[in-house]
Amino acid sequence: MDASAAQREALLATARAMGAARLNVGTAGNASLRLGSDGSYLITPTGLPAEACSPADMVTMSPDGIPQGTRAPSSEWRLHHDIYARRPEAGAIVHAHPPFATALACRRAEIPPFHYMIARFGGSTVRCAGYATFGTQALSDLALAALEERCACLLANHGMVVFGRDTAHALALAIEFEMLCEQYWRTLQLGEPALLSDAEMAEVVARFSWYGQPQDQDRS
């Protein structure tokens, strides 16, 4: 399935918004969106800053991981490909190297339940995937494990990956995740934080199952 003009424009706008939000600098990071149920997707090109790209530079990838057109896909295309294959709810993916998430990723430790908004990403913690060289199948495998029952994870000595239902949702989650990472980093400067219990986090996870849905907009 080839991408529409609107899809290409949406992905490019997301890539540029990542830079504006300080999630990325230069050619770091990448983003993609699912094109259809066949496993095809659109991804940002490798080695080109978003500001220098046009919608036509976004790369269509086949279900078999074959790029279409003249541009080469992001070096992390395997990561995107495997998330779409494993997680049908993923409509768009953002991978970035923002300051606070990357700093925490260099600790190679998960983010514990220091704040209830951790549940926004699917569980009581946000895991940190083990280290592997960028662009490799090993990195993709480690990230998939860290994303089990989650929509975000850290990548050791690397950055973050987040997925959402569409580009706007994935970008919003990535920005929110970086904010949480900053809050946790700042908390660590004061010492180890008090953590929420398993029961407290389970209640928040359950509440997030309906939070923000149209039929429940009267709830707060």
Active-site residue set: 76
With beta carbons less than 8 A apart as the criterion, state whether 31 and 168 touch.
no
With beta carbons less than 8 A apart as the criterion, state whether 77 and 62 touch.
no
With beta carbons less than 8 A apart as the criterion, state whether 166 and 89 touch.
no
Length in residues, the chain: 220
CA distance 54 to 38: 25
Residue 15's CB is within 10 A of a number of other CB atoms, namely 29
CA distance 208 to 116: 10
> The sheet that has 128-129: what strands, in order across it?
67-68, 59-61, 41-43, 30-34, 92-96, 159-164, 152-155, 128-129
CA distance 177 to 161: 10
